[in-house]
């Protein structure tokens, strides 16, 4: 089983739509969680951290359910510029603290 699993998509949605991505992780040890965004042929960029209490940054809301080992990202009022691949990322809180990336969920926002 992969450490971090995501639905690869693609998710094709119209502008203005609300879209949600899910991610599951297999290691129950103490870790931190993030969503990154990666545009085609570019490096990943940090979108937001994910906290147990849930957190919001503008149109983006992230949720973490430690009991179910499940992370989500909600994008409201989708823009064309939101088209990208969204990567679910896990980082252990001890050791080398290297990032483990999911394979990403591709979002295409249509005009």
Partner 1 sequence: GAVVSQHPSRVICKSGTSVKIECRSLDFQATTMFWYRQFPKQSLMLMATSNEGSKATYEQGVEKDKFLINHASLTLSTLTVTSAHPEDSSFYICSARSLAVRGNEQFFGPGTRLTVL
Binding to partner 1 in span 3-62, by CB under 8 A: 4, 8, 41-46
CB of 44 to partner 1, least distance (A): 6
Distance of CA 88 to the CA centre of its chain: 4
CB of 15 to partner 1, least distance (A): 25
CB nearer to partner 1: pick between 75 and 87: 87
CB of 89 to partner 1, least distance (A): 9
Number of residues that bind partner 1 (CB under 8 A): 18
> Binding string to partner 1 for residues 63 to 92, with x set by CB under 8 A, is what?
------------------------x-----
């Amino acid at each position: 089983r992969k450490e971090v699993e995501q639905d690869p998509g693609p998710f094709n949605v119209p502008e203005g739509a609300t879209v949600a991505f899910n991610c599951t992780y297999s290691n129950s040890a103490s870790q931190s969680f993030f969503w990154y965004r990666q545009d085609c042929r570019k490096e990943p960029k940090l979108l937001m951290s994910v906290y147990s209490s849930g957190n919001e940054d503008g149109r983006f809301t992230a949720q973490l359910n430690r009991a179910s080992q499940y992370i989500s990202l909600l994008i409201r009022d989708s823009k064309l510029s939101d088209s990208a691949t969204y990567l679910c990322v896990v980082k252990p809180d001890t050791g080398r603290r290297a990032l483990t990336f999911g394979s990403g969920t591709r979002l295409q926002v249509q005009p």
